[in-house]
Structure 1
Amino acid sequence: MIKLPSGVDINNLIDDIRIFSWQAADILLYYSKLLEDSDGKRNILKNNNVNDPVTVADLKVNELIIKRINEKYKNINWDILSEENVKISSKGFDSKTDWIWVLDPLDGTKDFIQGTGNYAMHLALNFKQKTYIGFVLIPNKNQLWITDGKKTWCEKRDGTRYKPNLLKKNNLQEMTLVTSKNHGNEILKNLIQKINFRKVEIMGSIGCKIASIIRGDSDIYICLSLPGKSSPKDWDFAAPESILKAAGGAVTNLDNQELTYGQTSFQQSGVIVATSNKDTHGSICLQIKKIIEDNAIYPL
């Protein structure tokens, strides 16, 4: 059984992060509203990188969450790995502790800018390079997904709770796939066509995609990184994996191996598969791997 660092109670911690998360929601919804105006968009964008934009909202939420954790939990033996801090720091991130918070203050920044509502805040507490507890906040849906490491549930701002509703399908052709629209990936498109899913839903943010699986709106998500190109990072997957795994689903690489965090450049490369059923996940990975190999779609 995993024990939290000395002085930290799991229930109090979840209560605190719940409060911090809804404060973050206020920031994200405020700037989302400002983005509806073209002048607002110019003021909110902090860089001109079309492929990796940063907004004032990213930075404000980043500052809020880190400040709140550090204020509430002084002298606790954990570190905080944040996407925004990695981008701006020249020192890198070198942790000597088993406990690491992994934060993406705004996952789905392109969708946030485009006004689709498919954006999320990710926050996970990892132990020894594996996910333990996690939070995925989807402000536009008034949803905060939480796992205490054993179970997953969703809360609305008024405290209303509801449980996961994972579907249990075994056949790829009967499944609804949720995939990205902001990443032009012809190899992945080819794989999707070969599998011939029942339905394909387009959605931003990995957190939003994984939440759609937990809600029962979709069955599977496939992430395929192109060789030599950028890959998702730890902060993209840590919180989403934590909530799906505790709900009864799974997130692994194509060889059905659990993701490991804190590796070189925080990369999560290759082919990653998320499904709604941990019991059949391995066989689903095998089916996908066979389709890739038989059609020479991707170098394995």
Structure 2
Amino acid sequence: MRNLPEILIKTRQIGWGAAKLLSSYYHGTAQDSHLDIQYKDNEPVTAADVAVSHYILSALQSAFGHQDFGYISEETYQSQPGKHPAEWVWIIDPLDGTRDFINKTGEYAIHIALVQGTRPVLAVVAIPEAQKIFYATKGGGTFVETAAGSQKLQVSSQPSIEDLVVVVSRSHRNQKLEFLLKNLPCQQQKSIGSVGCKIAALVEQQANIYISLSGKSAPKDWDMAAPELILTEAGGKFTHFDHSPLQYNTGDINQWGGLLASNSQDHINLCNLAAKILEDFVPE
């Protein structure tokens, strides 16, 4: 096992630097803050995505090199598709929640995860507008860092499924997900943008469940790898509906099927219930 605490120190520094750069685009103070919005597979990509991706990759590669580490970023993956052969692979999303970034909701994030094999062992999620960085290492717990210092985080305990709060997307919704949400016993919902921001809500005890359903497309490795470890090291769970773990750098970057993140107490029951509800779904 590599010295994860030592690697984390540098990664947190890179996370803060990336947050500062991304925030400068968000607030229009970057040297060239024109977003130059383009669309790739119906998803927006901005100049901020590209600039922050370059910053993170350059900083990580300068710090850790190529000999022992591989690199997968949302903005560079097309040039190097497939499973990366390295045992240790950085999986990076320089701007998760691009639509929220463009629409100025403030709910966008940066994801940096280090995966060993197919599972995350280190994660940093930076939320620039909150001026917070969430970080975790395998077996080391989850913390939130602000200008005031760091604090350990733990997911909440809730007495009943009916009282749970579900975080939902504003933009990534479809008929199947709407059917599932409508038929869950917990009907309290909180709309939040980036996956990183959703998981932050869980570990800061503002919500309890997040559900992702793939439709024509699916969330990607870089959407889930860092947020997953942030949640699980805070005591939560993040799995497929069949309780199997998410896996990364498998050669398919898509996370197909139903995924459920929770504060863990009723996790298996919630997964089983979600799968059962969807048995009755009939597309219109």
CA distance in 2 between counterparts of 1:264 and 1:83 reads 14
> What is the identity, as a one-letter code, of the residue corresponding to 1:238?
A
CA distance in 2 between counterparts of 1:165 and 1:199 reads 21
CA distance in 2 between counterparts of 1:297 and 1:146 reads 40
2:63 is matched with 72
Structure 2: runs of 5 or more not aligned: none
Q: Which of 265, 274, 280 lines up with 1:288 in the alignment?
A: 274
Q: Which of 115, 120, 144 lines up with 2:109 in the alignment?
A: 120
Tell me the alpha carbon deviations over residues 129-171 of structure 1, each in whole angstroms, 9 at most, x when there is no partner. Answer: 0111101100111110000212101001x25122224122363
CA distance in 2 between counterparts of 1:26 and 1:289 reads 41
CA distance in 2 between counterparts of 1:175 and 1:51 reads 33
Confirm or deny that 1:152 pairs with 2:137: no
Confirm or deny that 1:29 pairs with 2:23: yes
8 A contact 1:255–1:285 mirrored in 2: yes
> What is the identity, as a one-letter code, of the residue corresponding to 2:123?
G
Alignment of 1:227-238 (within 5 A): 229-238=216-225
Confirm or deny that 1:206 pairs with 2:192: no
CA distance in 1 between counterparts of 2:16 and 2:119 reads 25
> What is the identity, as a one-letter code, of the residue corresponding to 1:47?
Q
8 A contact 2:38–2:46 mirrored in 1: yes
1:274 is matched with 261
Alignment of 1:164-175 (within 5 A): 164-169=153-158, 171-175=160-164
Tell me the alpha carbon deviations over residues 116-139 of structure 1, each in whole angstroms, 9 at most, x when there is no partner. Answer: 010000010011101111011001
Alignment of 1:192-271 (within 5 A): 192-226=181-215, 229-271=216-258
8 A contact 2:83–2:249 mirrored in 1: no
RMSD of aligned alpha carbons: 2.0
> Identity across aligned pairs (percent)?
32
Tell me the alpha carbon deviations over residues 7-30 of structure 1, each in whole angstroms, 9 at most, x when there is no partner. Answer: xx3232111111111111111111
Structure 1: runs of 5 or more not aligned: none
Please give the secondary structure, in 2, of the residue aligned with 1:53.
strand
Distance 1:235 1:170, change over 3 A: farther
8 A contact 2:35–2:48 mirrored in 1: yes
8 A contact 2:90–2:115 mirrored in 1: yes
Alignment of 1:6-155 (within 5 A): 9-34=3-28, 43-49=34-40, 51-87=42-78, 89=79, 91-150=80-139, 151-155=141-145
8 A contact 1:45–1:53 mirrored in 2: no
CA distance in 2 between counterparts of 1:210 and 1:142 reads 16
Structure 1 length-normalised TM: 0.88
8 A contact 1:252–1:259 mirrored in 2: yes
After TM superposition, which residue ranges in structure 1, 4 or more long, deviate above 6 angstroms?
A: none
> What is the identity, as a one-letter code, of the residue corresponding to 2:4?
I
CA distance in 2 between counterparts of 1:196 and 1:75 reads 49
Tell me the alpha carbon deviations over residues 222-266 of structure 1, each in whole angstroms, 9 at most, x when there is no partner. Answer: 10112xx01000000000001111111011000011001123430
CA distance in 2 between counterparts of 1:264 and 1:81 reads 11
> What is the identity, as a one-letter code, of the residue corresponding to 1:270?
G
The offset of 1:196, in angstroms, is 4.0
Structure 2 length-normalised TM: 0.92
1:186 is matched with 175
Distance 1:16 1:202, change over 3 A: same
Distance 1:201 1:297, change over 3 A: farther
Aligned residues: 280
The offset of 1:51, in angstroms, is 3.1
CA distance in 1 between counterparts of 2:207 and 2:193 reads 14
CA distance in 1 between counterparts of 2:89 and 2:135 reads 17
Please give the secondary structure, in 2, of the residue aligned with 1:57.
helix
CA distance in 2 between counterparts of 1:244 and 1:119 reads 17
The offset of 1:297, in angstroms, is 5.5
> What is the identity, as a one-letter code, of the residue corresponding to 2:240?
N
Bigger helix share: 1
Tell me the alpha carbon deviations over residues 199-228 of structure 1, each in whole angstroms, 9 at most, x when there is no partner. Answer: 1011111111011000000000010112xx
The offset of 1:283, in angstroms, is 2.0
Please give the secondary structure, in 1, of the residue aligned with 2:248.
coil
